Amino acid sequence: METKKRTEIAALGQFGLIDRLTHGFSPKNPSTLRGVGDDAAVIAPPAGEELLCSTDSFFEGVDFDLTYFPLKHLGYKVVTAGVSDILAMNARPSQIVLSLGVSAKLPVEALDDLYEGVRFACDELGVDLAGGDTRASMTGLAVTVTTLGHAPKERIVYRSGARLHDLICITGNLGAAFMGLRLLEREKRVLSDVTNPEPQFKGYEYLLEKYLKPRPRTDILDALAEEGIVPTAMIDLTDGLAGDLMQLCKASSCGARIYLERIPIAQQTSALCEEMHADPVVAALNGGEDYELLFTVPLSMQEQVMRLGLVDVIGHITPDPTGCFLVTPDGQEIALKAQGFPEK
Amino acid sequence: METKKRTEIAALGQFGLIDRLTHGFSPKNPSTLRGVGDDAAVIAPPAGEELLCSTDSFFEGVDFDLTYFPLKHLGYKVVTAGVSDILAMNARPSQIVLSLGVSAKLPVEALDDLYEGVRFACDELGVDLAGGDTRASMTGLAVTVTTLGHAPKERIVYRSGARLHDLICITGNLGAAFMGLRLLEREKRVLSDVTNPEPQFKGYEYLLEKYLKPRPRTDILDALAEEGIVPTAMIDLTDGLAGDLMQLCKASSCGARIYLERIPIAQQTSALCEEMHADPVVAALNGGEDYELLFTVPLSMQEQVMRLGLVDVIGHITPDPTGCFLVTPDGQEIALKAQGFPEK
């Protein structure tokens, strides 16, 4: 087994630690006037564009388990989560600001790994790390990412713009991240007493990647722009299709009908569901963390949307009092329910 | 004793909780195009101005102890912390975005209190709550505040602009918040076995207020603008005078000499230090959480700065290799040391 160097955080001090972690992050976007190293980052959104800002937190023991979540992937994933929120407004992500709570049990090398993942994601997605805060935490690791982006006002898409008969479109497939998590938890449980555990992931690599290293759908932003499509409403899929669709409908004062057989589910998701006696549709509806996009377009845009080649139309918008329903192949209508607040 | 209603977070669900907490926060700044309730906030900085963004986290058990920290005050204090960072850039704060990690042990009413403090601070300071994220946390309460502000480019002040012979100015007085914390901890210790504890705070109300409900120095921003002063460098005092001055000097590639007898210390700070056999200068140098501002101005501006009536000049900038020193009344020079990263 590889023995890694272990440097205690206390050996560097808070300022030394921040210097080490943020070393080599130099701003690449012209809108980043000042990045890491002052009381605040200074940003100049492109002339005539508005600025977007969102925030997401990840807590150890709730949002990730360090037994099987490599810190490098966690660094990548928090950037994905932030970027995905900005994409969901049909805007371009440009900066992130990272806030860490770290317990002394983590060595500096672990935080190096986290930052390596952050750096990799920033480079790949063209965003700058523009600042942050690193503090002690009594308990587990806590990561909050604030993401900034920009867009011309007329291209910004809210949750509230869906209209009657609009088509409900989603990118990618759903439930894969959730099944990746279930697989990791199963192997952890099974191997908890084993000295040199060798978890069995063969055939499910895609599910692990969707959970541990999801990619935000920047390609959709480009494709929509190219086709000249501005969705009427959009949200990113993080809480499961059911909860997120209900959020969009609530903001738009409308209802929705989606069709069970149209919900895209990856082959590996179905296979693992069968193995674990789970329902893939439940994984899609309530699993969450897909980081795909759900958006609505007017019925008249059906052809244009299909031309994207990246999207499935899974249903349509109904009048307000109807509520949100899943229609089964035999015509049954099941009212959707949002997942509850996790109790710990 | 008052019996408060206790509603479990799980009874509302995540979306219900967010709705309840953010209810009634409507944007007041014209730059807030869209606040709470979408994937991201939408901000339009005033034409010709740059946008500033900073982030701060507070963790239960490290940054606050809920035994004696009322949640209403905590809500106020996190806004102060965020706003203070923006002021330290000589900019106007305009929006905050709040990210909460909450454990199920807190009832909804506790979070109502937290948000009441946030609302009070937002109203007082003229900033909008423009978004947020609320998630479960396995352990304690975690609050991250992201603050946005704006300023014309030529008025933004960085840490890096201090020049040789510049005067080092600070607002208010130092060490009071730290002694407020020590007082609260003493009473908690003393009264840990008592059934109806009645802590003794008489005569030290100012210290408690500086720790529990500090006000950011928005008045300084106005005063500097009115006098036409743009500091050469600025930082807010959150880690203690020593650490923060060293940060500013490092960013400006310079040294500093400050004079012990010029460090402003409030009467209550001195009195409690005497009672607890503590050194008020150590409280000022290393205590932190003062939320005062430290800034530098050219020597030629001494008169103008004194006219503000809000500031003490405590020393001056020296050449780089000199380092940062505290000069005692008998002429001794003591090298300053930054406080270490707290080990937990």
Give the separation between CA A181 and CA A283, rounded to whole angstroms.
11
Residue B344 pLDDT: 31
Give B-chain residues touching A9 at CB under 8 angstroms.
Answer: 341
What does chain A come to in residues?
344
CA distance A310 to chain B (A): 21
Instruction: Give chain B's domains with CATH numbers.
Output: 11-155 (3.30.1330.10), 159-335 (3.90.650.10)
Within A250-340, strands assigned E span 255-259, 292-297, 311-318, 324-327, 333-335
Mark yes or no for CB contact A62/B136 under 8 Å: yes
User: Per residue in A108-124, pLDDT tens?
Assistant: 999 999 999 999 999 99
- Taking the CA of residue B151 and the nearest CA in chain A, the distance in Å comes to 10
Chain A residues within 8 A of B88 when measuring between CB atoms: 39-40
3-class DSSP state of A241: helix
Give B-chain residues touching A102 at CB under 8 angstroms.
Answer: none
Which parts of chain B have pLDDT scores under 70? Answer: 1-3, 339-344
Least CB–CB distance from A144: residue in B52, B99, B236: B99
Burial B131-141 (b: 16+ CB within 10 A, else e): bbbbbbbbbbb
pLDDT in tens, chain A (344 residues): 456 788 888 888 777 888 888 887 888 888 898 888 888 999 998 888 999 999 999 999 999 999 999 999 999 999 999 999 999 999 999 999 999 999 888 899 999 999 999 999 999 999 999 987 888 887 789 999 999 999 999 999 999 999 999 999 999 999 999 999 999 999 998 888 888 778 888 999 999 999 999 999 999 999 999 999 999 999 999 999 999 999 999 999 999 999 999 999 999 999 999 999 999 999 999 999 999 999 999 999 999 999 999 999 999 999 987 899 999 999 999 999 876 544 33
pLDDT score, position A3: 62
Task: List chain A residues with CB under 8 Å of B38.
Answer: 89, 158-160, 251
DSSP code per residue over A226-237 = HHT---SEEEEE
The predicted pLDDT at position A199 comes to 82
Question: pLDDT, tens digit, for every residue of B184-239?
Answer: 999 998 888 888 778 888 999 999 999 999 999 999 999 999 999 999 999 999 99
Q: What is the pLDDT of residue B324?
A: 96
DSSP bridge pairs for A233: A296
- Token match 């005067």: residue? B167
Select from A18, A89, A94, A146 the residue whose CB has the most chain B CBs within 10 Å, as the one to mutate to test that interface: A146
Best mutation target, B53, B217, B220, to test chain A (most A CBs within 10 A): B53
Are A158 and B236 within 8 A, CB to CB? no
Q: Which residue of A has its CA nearest to B50?
A: A44
Are B55 and A146 within 8 A, CB to CB? yes
Minimal-distance CA residue of chain B relative to A98: B55
> Where are any strands of DSSP class E within A115-231?
128-136, 142-152, 167-171
**Residue B39 counted as an annotated binding residue:** yes
Phi then psi dihedrals of residue B210, to 5 deg: -65, -30
Pairs from A122-127 (Cβ < 8 Å, separation ≥ 24) = A122/A25, A122/A79, A122/A96, A125/A79, A125/A83, A125/A93, A125/A216, A125/A218, A126/A28, A126/A29, A126/A93, A126/A94, A127/A29, A127/A79, A127/A83, A127/A93, A127/A94, A127/A95, A127/A96
Cβ-Cβ contacts under 8 Å, A239 against chain B = 14
| ipTM value | 0.88
Mutate to test the interface with A, among B32, B111, B146, B148 (most CBs of A within 10 A): B146
- Do A287 and A188 meet the contact criterion of CB atoms below 8 Å apart? no
Tell me which residue in B33, B88, B343 faces A104 most closely, judged by beta carbons.
Answer: B343
B28–chain A nearest CA distance, Å: 17
User: What residues pair up with A102 in beta bridges, in sequence order?
Assistant: A136
| Strand-strand pairing, A292-297 and A233-237 | antiparallel
CB contact under 8 A, A62 and B135: yes
Q: How many Å apart are CA B129 and CA A329, to the nearest integer?
A: 44
Residue at A262: amino acid letter: R
From chain A, pick out residues whose CB is under 8 angstroms from the CB of B37: 159, 251
Q: Under a CB-based contact definition with an 8 Å cutoff, are residues A326 and A282 in contact?
A: no
pLDDT recorded at residue A155: 95
Phi, psi at A72, each rounded to 5°:
-60, -40
By the 8 A CB rule, do A161 and A38 touch?
no
Q: Which residue of B has its CA nearest to A105?
A: B344
Instruction: Supply φ then ψ for residue B146, to 5 degrees.
Output: -105, 130
